[in-house]
């Protein structure tokens, strides 16, 4: 892995992506539900969207919210937004009215592109917060006649579009038709121009918009290219196929599956709902991928899916695990099924997102997040903000060209997250080994304090997940009169015969006394984010409710 990336002083993301569109114009860019569009089509449609935005009289730097799942419109609208000199605002399509209202008000978005399935949520938002321009997308957009059939099925057979009223809204189809007849005024982007507001999701309180510039995102694309080289080479051969099962509104998927894939001229196969494993299976069967980024839970679900095991795997070159800790049992199961190792990396919204990754030509599970990316400095800090000695635990802090400039309109939060010498504090506890690899212990806020001892849920979950009869597991701290907190375990069974006694015996043989769970609850499923990350905070909140009511 090189120590530094070659990032030009005036290099911007949108300029590099524009060049990639022209270079790869004859290649297939996107496949969705069996329908392909080329890079030339993607390029032309992005121009049309950009021209339409400019024709609305919007100023440079205006915010354009994308409330879209994976589908053909997403990258078209994001590219068009950047070409128009405006700022994308990524938004989870599953947001409630309250969550959407906050993000609209905070970002002051002047435009929203929203899938019609979620239009009724926007309708409920107060008029003074609604953007001036509403663009309605459909599942079948850009799919021609097939799209009409898909839309009919979505609306009238599956009844997936609740009734709504949004007077003055535009269809994306009409927007692209109008834009194709307009001329686009190209203004050169600058490296420090704001490209994206990526909201952190609010798991630590009020959601915060990470301000990611053209330079931030360009740097991370080049960093991913550098670390991917041992597995993927220089991209001078035929196009690789990228499986895009993670939602593009999530920063991991956006940068790796979207921006990096376009930069490298890859063929992106889009899956709208990764929880529907059959849709992932069908997409893989039609277009066997060389590159598969996903999260621990999706790799786990696929490796345990009977039909998945019948698919072709010989073409696989790189399977990247991020978004949540990769469990050893899942890594071993995936390798046994596919023959391709899972390469774990780490990042966060504030860092565009990738910070560290294991060597992409390694075969073994390391239990670490690997090495810092090129041009990236890391520190491990104690409670006083001082670097810890080698081998000691500390809060991971990061500095590099991919690190955001600030949180949008939150100067106090920005000041709190940066050290005086410009390192971003991640809130994750880690330790560095002699080789320079970083092992994450856990999130600061997820730590459980048992009789004065620090217990990290990741360790407990890793041990329990290795049990052959366990499918999924989460550990949280609950109040205890005797020890301050005790460990409660939530388990989804792989084998129905699994008992509480089985798990307790398994833990007794592998964990010291204070790390063993005292309470075990079996569930049919665990709460997850849209990316598939298990939500410990939801489980913690559930445990706190009975106390609050009492």
Angle between helices 172-180 and 39-55 (to 10 degrees): 90
CATH superfamily of 369-442: Luciferase; Domain 3 (2.30.38.10)
Give pLDDT, residue 77. Answer: 98
Q: Tell me the C-alpha distance between 453 and 447, whole Å.
A: 10
Residue 442 has pLDDT above 80, yes or no: no
Whether the per-residue pLDDT at 59 is higher than 60: the answer is yes
Reported CATH class of domain 39-199: alpha beta
**Structure tokens given for 179:** 């834009």
Kindly report, residue by residue over 465-520, the tens digit of the pLDDT. 999 999 999 999 998 877 778 999 999 999 999 999 999 999 999 988 889 999 99
Which H, E and C letters describe 515-537, residue by residue?
HCCCEEEECCCCCECCCCCECHH
Instruction: For residue 378, give the H/E element and its range.
Output: strand 377-381
- CA gap 421, 95 in Å, rounded: 36
Map residue 322 onto helix, strand or coil: coil
Q: What is the pLDDT of residue 417?
A: 95
Instruction: Give dist(CA 84, CA 61) in Å, integer.
Output: 9
Please give the average per-residue pLDDT across 514-534, as a whole number: 92
Q: Check residue 45 and give its pLDDT.
A: 98
Architecture of the domain delimited by 447-549: 2-Layer Sandwich (3.30)
| The overall pTM is greater than 0.85 | yes
Distance between CA 304 and CA 302 in Å, rounded?
Answer: 5
Domains 39-199 and 447-549 share a fold: no
For the chain, the domains span: 39-199, 369-442, 447-549
- Structural tokens at position 327: 């469990």
Give the pLDDT score at 452: 67
* Count helices and strands in the chain by DSSP H and E runs: 17, 25
Confidence of residue 11 (pLDDT cuts 50, 70, 90): very high
Rounded CA-CA distance 29/39 in Å is: 5
Distance from C-alpha of 109 to C-alpha of 192, rounded to nearest angstrom: 20
- How many alpha carbons fall within 13 Å on the CB side of residue 378? 28
**Are the beta carbons of 130 and 110 closer than 8 angstroms?**
no
**Residue of 1, 4, 437 whose CA lies nearest to 219:** 4
> In a 3-state reduction of DSSP, which class is residue 171?
strand
- For position 205, what pLDDT does the model report? 53
C-alpha 319/C-alpha 333 separation (Å) is 13
Q: What pLDDT is attached to residue 2?
A: 86
Partners of 343 in the β-ladder? 320
Side-chain-side CA neighbours of residue 52 (13 Å): 28
pLDDT tens-digit readout, 317-349? 999 999 878 889 999 999 999 999 999 999 999
Residue 481: what pLDDT? 78
Provide, rounded to the nearest whole percent, the portion of the chain with pLDDT above 70.
Answer: 98
pLDDT for residue 13: 98
Instruction: Give tens-digit pLDDT for 255-271.
Output: 999 999 999 999 999 99
Whether 31 has a pLDDT exceeding 60, the answer reads: yes
DSSP secondary structure code for residue 343 in this structure: E
pLDDT tens digits along 275-296: 899 999 999 999 999 999 998 8
Structure tokens at 537: 């905070």
C-beta atoms surrounding 431 within 10 Å: 18
């Amino acid at each position: 892995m090189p120590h530094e990336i070659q990032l030009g002083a005036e290099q911007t993301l949108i300029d590099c992506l524009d060049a990639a569109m022209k270079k790869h114009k004859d290649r297939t860019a996107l496949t969705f539900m069996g329908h392909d569009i080329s890079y030339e089509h993607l390029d032309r449609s992005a121009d049309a969207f950009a021209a339409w935005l400019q024709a609305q009289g919007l100023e440079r730097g205006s915010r354009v919210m994308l409330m879209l799942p994976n589908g053909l419109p997403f990258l078209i609208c994001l590219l068009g937004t950047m070409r128009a000199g405006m700022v994308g605002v990524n938004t989870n399509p599953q947001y409630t009215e309250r969550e959407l209202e906050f993000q609209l008000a905070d970002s002051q978005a002047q435009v929203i592109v929203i899938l019609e399935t979620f239009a009724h949520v926007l309708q409920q938002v107060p008029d003074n917060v609604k953007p001036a321009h509403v663009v309605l997308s459909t599942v079948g957009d850009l799919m021609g006649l097939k799209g009409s059939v898909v839309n009919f099925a979505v609306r009238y057979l599956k009844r997936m579009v609740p009734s709504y009223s949004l007077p003055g809204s535009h269809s994306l189809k009409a927007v692209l038709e109008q834009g194709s007849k307009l001329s686009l005024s190209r203004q050169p982007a600058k490296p420090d121009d704001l490209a994206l507001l990526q909201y952190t999701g609010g798991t630590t309180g009020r959601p915060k918009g990470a301000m990611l510039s053209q330079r931030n995102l360009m740097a991370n694309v080049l960093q991913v290219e550098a670390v991917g080289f041992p597995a993927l080479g220089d991209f001078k051969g035929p196009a690789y196929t990228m499986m895009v099962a993670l939602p593009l509104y999530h920063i991991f998927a956006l940068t790796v599956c979207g921006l990096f894939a376009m930069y490298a001229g890859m063929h992106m196969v889009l899956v709208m709902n990764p929880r529907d494993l059959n849709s992932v299976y069908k997409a893989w069967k039609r277009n066997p991928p060389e590159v598969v980024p996903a999260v621990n839970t999706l790799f786990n679900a696929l490796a345990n899916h009977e039909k998945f095991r019948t698919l072709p795997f010989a073409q696989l070159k790189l399977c990247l695990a991020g978004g949540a800790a990769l469990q050893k049992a899942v890594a071993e199961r995936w390798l046994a099924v596919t023959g391709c190792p899972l390469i774990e990396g780490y990042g966060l919204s504030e860092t565009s997102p990738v910070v560290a990754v294991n060597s992409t030509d390694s075969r073994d599970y390391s239990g670490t997040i690997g090495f810092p990316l090129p041009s990236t400095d890391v520190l491990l800090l104690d409670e006083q903000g001082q670097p810890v000695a080698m081998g000691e635990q500390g809060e991971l802090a990061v500095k590099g060209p991919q690190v955001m400039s600030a949180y949008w309109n939150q100067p106090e939060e920005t000041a709190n997250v940066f050290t005086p010498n410009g390192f971003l504090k991640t809130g994750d506890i880690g330790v560095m080994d002699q080789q320079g690899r970083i092992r994450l212990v856990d999130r600061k806020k997820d730590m459980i304090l048992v009789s004065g001892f620090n217990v990290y849920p990741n360790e407990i979950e890793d041990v329990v997940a290795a049990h052959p009869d366990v499918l999924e597991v989460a550990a949280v701290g609950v109040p205890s009169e005797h020890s301050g907190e005790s460990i409660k375990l939530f388990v989804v069974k792989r084998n129905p015969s699994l008992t509480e006694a089985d798990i307790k015996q398994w833990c007794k043989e592998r964990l010291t006394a204070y790390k063993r769970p005292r309470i075990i609850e079996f569930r049919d499923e665990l709460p997850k984010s849209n990316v598939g990350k298990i939500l410990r905070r939801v489980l913690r909140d559930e445990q706190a409710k009975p106390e609050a009511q009492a």
